[in-house]
Structure 1
Amino acid sequence: MTEHYFTPRPQTPHEEAEFTAVLRGMEFRFRTDRAVFSRERVDPGTRLLVEAMRIGPADTVLDLGCGYGVLGIVAARLAPQGRVYMVDMNERAARLAEANAERNGVRNAEVRVGDGTGPLAGIRFDVILMNPPVRAGKAAVHRLVAEAGAALKPGGSLWVVIGNKQGAPSLKRHLGAVFRELEDVDRKGGYHVYRAQGWLGVPRDERIDANPGPK
């Protein structure tokens, strides 16, 4: 059976590779391996999110499903007085993210292994970044969105990139139902970057009006 990038402990034989990429005007070096997402280059969706995301210099940031660390490492450079957390359930990807942070001179980031925000209980974030694991299915993506929403600070934002062919219209509708504010920040090459703020907890159409008024 072919392993996916969300396999917790890949058994696929290692075949490491390395490449450089210029992101936000800065050069980075990334080491990758088999059984991780987009091992040969920064994929177009991640690149679009990197260029669109807005990170404050002292923000606390989460790269949710970090892979080998592109989003989190760039965010750490953009938040020199902040703190970046990267988490992935794929142990191989998490090890690569940790090594890539060191390789790129990032000292204000840490990597944890686990599913969703579970390894980060009690931490709240100004910004959460996600290139969701669409192959894991809609239910898994919606669960991660819910965990991210609950982990945001007041005024914090969730940034998500997804392709049209991977379900962008459906995810946009879902984000619009579970957040007060939703912005389609950027789009290119069939990908969209969405920024959501104001986690509602449950979809709008499931919320009960406490004061419905006269019928």
Structure 2
Amino acid sequence: MRLVESFKQGQEKLESINSEIKSRVETTLRSWPETINKKVSDIRNFSLPWTQYFHFFHDSEETIAHESEPVLKLSDKFAALHQRIEADLGVENFVGEWFLVDQACIDQFAQATGDHQWIHTDPVKAENESPFKTTIAHGFLTLSLIPKLTDTVNPEKNDYPEARMLVNYGMNKVVFPAPVRVGKRIRARTRIIAVTPLRKGLELVREVTIEVENSKRPACVAEMLLRLYD
């Protein structure tokens, strides 16, 4: 009799525990949507400072870009130089002397740069296999001759005596429309196509055209960037 009562009490206790567990599980399940929403909200709130940071970074870039815009502090002589250059924009202002591109010149450039491609350095093979029937100058050889062809390496010649310092800042673009066959003469023609005031200086865009004697197409057209500092 006692065994039966003990068993019944144990069964009732087990049912009570199961009922309590069931109740807790149901309560937890009912609260899941709210919990998930809270977690999502927390994540969103946590990410907000990063979003604000990116906006701040973007705004800062714009501010920096705005603050880095040229501030014009040109002297009177540079202001006058600026006006003089602007007045002659697009006008051809230089025609150089003819320069002979011979095989020795091409070979020296090949030796200096390591570019010994046969279309430049092997006259016999070029005559038999090249569509040009002769060797041709490297495109970069033509480009490298610009300082000489434009006479900008002459210390006694200065187109801008107002400038304290001149800096070759680079190029906007360069193309090689036609080859320079060995034995041909080339020369440079130039014009200033743009001028921009800088902080205590000017930036010029100088268009350089390298023409080949008795050829309709130029060997090279380059936009050189030159900076003049007050």
Pairwise same-fold verdict (TM > 0.5): no
Q: Highest Rg: 1 or 2?
A: 2
TM-score where L is the length of structure 2: 0.22
Q: Which has the higher contact order (CA 8 A, sep 6+)?
A: 2
The TM-score normalised by the length of structure 1 is 0.23
Say which structure is richer in helix: 2
- Bigger strand fraction: 1
